[in-house]
Amino acid sequence: MDAPVLLLNLNYQPLNVCSTKRAVGLLMVGKAEIVINGRGYIHTITSIFPRPSVIRLEYMVRRPQLCVRLCKREILRRDEFTCQYCGKSSSHLTIDHIVPRYRGGSFTWENLVAACPQCNRRKGGRTLQEARMTLRRAPFEPRPSAEYLFGRHAHQYSEWQQYLTGW
């Protein structure tokens, strides 16, 4: 019942990923319809319900422009879990400020990069020029495409791919 379900807006734009339990609730109340049922059925004592993979709301939801949240997980994801100084891939990475905070460095996408603990200690509270280090790739703010936001589930559920591309 906790398997992810892709929730689409009335115009088939991806909105969210919710649990099967939430999706079945939306279906039973009549707020959504099944687009793809690729997971079989849920059997109760008195009835059988389809187990959805993709559902679509019956009404249009207006929401503000999407943006990617600035947090450690998203910085690591943007940098592909690779140290931006030495290029080492690891699951144990830290976040480094290119311009140190005590020198006026801000908490922005362009000032934060993933770094391995060794490179982070080596750089310390210095700038790139002072530490004689270079970045492998300039930091940037990722575009909030549907594939970027919901793509981590797409490799498990190939039927979602057609709804994630193009937005």
pLDDT tens for each residue of 15-70: 888 898 899 899 989 999 999 887 788 888 888 888 898 999 999 998 777 788 89
CA nearest neighbour of 53 among 33, 32, 38: 38
pLDDT tens for each residue of 101-146: 999 999 999 999 999 999 999 999 999 999 999 999 999 998 877 7
- Helices marked H in the chain: 20-29, 72-78, 117-123, 128-131, 146-154, 161-164
Q: Looking at residue 152, what is its pLDDT?
A: 66
- Do residues 95 and 49 share a domain? no
CATH number of the domain encompassing residue 116: 1.10.30.50
53 belongs to a structural domain: yes
**Which domain-ending residue is among 47, 65, 83?**
65
pLDDT tens for each residue of 59-88: 999 877 778 889 999 999 999 999 999 999
Q: Strands 48-50 and 41-43: what pairing?
A: antiparallel
Report pTM: 0.67
Answer whether 114's CB lies under 8 Å from 81's CB. Answer: yes
Q: Looking at residue 110, what is its pLDDT?
A: 96
Q: How far is CA 51 from CA 40, 71, 105, in A?
A: 6, 33, 49
**Domain boundaries, position 12:** 4-65
Structure tokens at 97: 């400020």
- Do residues 31 and 60 share a domain? yes
Q: Looking at residue 38, what is its pLDDT?
A: 72
Answer whether 97's CB lies under 8 Å from 84's CB. Answer: no
149 belongs to a structural domain: no
